């Protein structure tokens, strides 16, 4: 497969000639080397995106939509091969990788349909003197920065709406997982995306290349998915040229189980919310709050289900939980679990790092976790479920909201009135009510508080790439 930079519709080596290694998380072995873009490659990418901008913005929305639709078809035809690539470089189980590829492709289909729904507005001025006309125009050149945990979906969730809106883009994928992004560049070119409209720039010097692009006045937007820590840095840099920003940042999702909940459904939902992607998801349930009367049974049943999961290399069909992405992630998960155990928690299953090669951590359930423990405050990003009990609704909501994050929250109850009341009280951009999965290309995905700014997916996702222009008209 192609492993060079993709700039102006061509595969080109890094200007420095440098390359970097991509590792297999199951073994730590090198599986490919990829061109390592630097600041001059970043500016060359912006040159290409800027040069292609006017023609793409002027391309009929129907044509832009059809190109995206073709990209959906190609991704769907090649789903198995793309899933293997995702699993190989990210480590996730093939079953999760297949789910991701289907989800990722859907963003192209959804935004193919949205491209022809860029509307405007005309109304009378209250004074009666003139008309107010509002049109939507593409923002311009966009820098897209994506994380390693969903290397396909986080890219299509940005490229889809940007292209539908008439913007051109430079995608800087995570350096742990650049291969999927390069494969998608090939698919987009084959689907008919003109030269320069999509550029893909793998780099090991992410900070420097993104910063160089943000300093370039031709760049009008940055859309970032990743940690809150890096999001803060990019918001500060974007402030220099007052660049439009969309930020999809970290999460710390609470998962509330009330005593009246259907426990079978709650366990099913917990397994999806916790274990999809081996826990390496911004939407992963990070803290379980279970009402006292059902807490022991919930913990027992969750432990049973988690301990039955097959752990192994992501690329093997029977694997349900693959390795984590890298050594640093395993060390972080291990540190959080050790801290919780030191503070008095007990591990009903798992709880310690296995020996041997690969970046593995076992499914783990912790009970008796001390309130205020770091594992409840920080994003775990691994297959660990800390359980805390509660005695009343107000207490559950207070604990759930006791975090600077606000991406998603889950709650299980048989009482719809309580479900809606608690759903409204939870400080999160998304709520799963009797559901352990909220992601849907047709819905606005995003967070409040320090989980982000803006939404991806739905019609809202398209608006992130459009500016409103108001024209005051006399007629």
Write out the residues near ligand NAP by the rule CB under 6 A.
Answer: 145-150, 154, 172, 174-176, 206-207, 210, 225-227, 230, 233-234, 248-251, 282, 379, 407, 447, 452
Supply the minimum distance, in Å, between the C-beta of residue 103 and ligand NAP.
12
Q: Which is nearer to ligand NAP, 107 or 258 (CB)?
A: 107
Shortest reach from residue 70's CB to ligand NAP, in Å:
26
Tokens 């050149």 correspond to 141
Q: Side-chain half-sphere of 437: how many Cα atoms within 13 Å?
A: 13
Active site residue 142: no
Cβ-closest residue to ligand NAP? 226
- Least Cβ distance, residue 297 to ligand NAP (angstroms): 30
- Give 316-322 contacts, CB < 8 A, sequence gap 24+: 316/94, 317/94, 319/93, 319/94, 319/95, 320/93, 320/95, 320/275, 321/93, 321/275, 321/278, 321/363, 321/383, 322/25, 322/26, 322/87, 322/90, 322/91, 322/92, 322/93, 322/96, 322/278
- Please identify, using beta-carbon distances, which residue of 237 and 319 lies nearer to ligand NAP: 237
Beta carbons of 441 and 288 less than 8 angstroms apart: no
- Euclidean distance between CA atoms 87 and 24, whole angstroms: 9
CB of 180: closest distance to ligand NAP in angstroms? 12
Q: What string of DSSP letters covers 207-230?
A: HHHHHHHHHSTTEEEEEEES-HHH
> Is 167 a catalytic site residue?
no
CB of 307 to ligand NAP, least distance (A): 26
Closest separation between CB of residue 60 and ligand NAP, Å? 31
Burial letters 79-105, b for 16+ CB under 10 A, else e: beebbbbbbbbbbbbbbbbbbbbbbbb
In this structure, are residues 95 and 161 in contact, taking their beta carbons and an 8 Å threshold? no
As measured in angstroms, the least distance from the Cβ of 102 to ligand NAP is 17
Nearest residue (CB) to ligand NAP, 150 versus 298: 150
- Residue among 39, 89, 106, 248 flagged as catalytic: 248
Nearer residue to ligand NAP within complex by CB, 96 or 379 = 379
Catalytic residue (one of 39, 100, 282, 464): 282
C-alpha closest to that of 379 among 297, 274, 270: 274
Query: Quick one: 196 or 406, whose CB is closer to ligand NAP?
Result: 406
- CA dist 320 to 90, 104, 177, 315, 362, Å? 14, 20, 20, 10, 11
Contacts of 178 (CB under 8 A, 6+ apart): 22, 34, 89, 202
Beta strands in 310-363, from DSSP E residues, in sequence order: 346-349
Nearer to ligand NAP, 320 or 451 (CB): 451
Question: Is beta strand 121-124 parallel, antiparallel or unpaired with respect to 452-453?
Answer: unpaired
The DSSP element (H or E) to which 386 belongs, if any, is strand 384-390
Which of residues 220 and 455 has its CB atom nearest to ligand NAP in the complex?
A: 455
Catalytic residue annotation: 248, 282
């Amino acid at each position: 497969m192609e492993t060079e930079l993709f700039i102006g519709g061509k595969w080109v080596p890094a200007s420095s000639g440098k390359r970097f290694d991509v590792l297999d998380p199951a073994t730590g072995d090198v599986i490919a080397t990829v061109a390592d873009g630097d600041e001059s490659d970043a500016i060359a990418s912006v040159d290409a995106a800027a040069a292609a901008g006017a023609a793409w913005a002027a391309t009929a929305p129907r044509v832009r939509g059809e190109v995206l639709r073709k990209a959906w078809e190609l991704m769907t035809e090649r789903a198995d091969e793309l899933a293997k690539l995702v699993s190989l470089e990210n480590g996730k189980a093939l079953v999760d990788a297949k789910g991701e590829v289907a989800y990722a492709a859907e963003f192209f289909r959804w935004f193919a349909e949205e491209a022809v729904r860029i509307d405007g507005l005309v109304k009378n001025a209250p004074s009666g003197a003139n008309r107010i006309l509002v049109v939507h125009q593409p923002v311009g050149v966009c820098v897209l920065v994506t994380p390693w945990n969903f290397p396909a979906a986080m890219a299509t969730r940005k490229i889809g709406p940007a292209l539908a809106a008439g913007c051109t883009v430079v995608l800087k994928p995570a350096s742990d997982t650049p291969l999927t992004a390069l494969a998608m560049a090939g698919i987009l070119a084959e689907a008919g995306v003109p030269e320069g409209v999509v550029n893909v720039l793998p780099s090991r010097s992410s900070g420097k290349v993104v910063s160089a692009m943000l300093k370039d006045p031709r760049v009008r937007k940055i859309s970032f998915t990743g940690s809150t820590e890096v999001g803060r840095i990019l918001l500060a840099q974007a402030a220099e040229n007052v660049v439009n920003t969309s930020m999809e940042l970290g999460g710390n999702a609470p998962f509330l189980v009330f005593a009246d909940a259907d426990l079978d459904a709650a366990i099913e939902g917990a397994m999806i919310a916790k274990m999809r992607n081996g826990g390496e998801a911004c939407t992963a349930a990070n803290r379980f709050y279970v009402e006292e009367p059902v807490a022991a049974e919930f913990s027992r049943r969750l432990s049973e289900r988690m301990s039955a999961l097959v752990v192994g290399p992501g690329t093997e069909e029977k694997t349900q939980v693959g390795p984590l992405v890298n050594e640093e992630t395993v060390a972080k998960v291990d540190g959080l679990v050790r801290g919780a155990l030191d503070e008095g928690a007990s591990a009903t299953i798992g709880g310690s790092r296995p020996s041997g090669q690969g970046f593995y951590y076992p499914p783990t359930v912790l009970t008796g976790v001390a309130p205020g423990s770091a594992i409840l405050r920080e994003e775990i990003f691994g297959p660990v479920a800390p359980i805390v009990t509660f005695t009343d609704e107000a207490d559950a909501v207070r604990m759930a909201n006791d975090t600077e994050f606000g991406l998603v929250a889950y709650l299980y109850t048989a009482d719809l009135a309580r479900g809606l009341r608690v759903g409204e009280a939870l400080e999160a951009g998304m709520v799963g009510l009797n559901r352990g999965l909220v992601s849907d290309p047709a819905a606005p995905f995003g967070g409040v508080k320090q989980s982000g700014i803006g939404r991806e997916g739905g019609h809202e996702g398209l608006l992130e790439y459009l500016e409103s222009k108001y024209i005051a008209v006399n007629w």
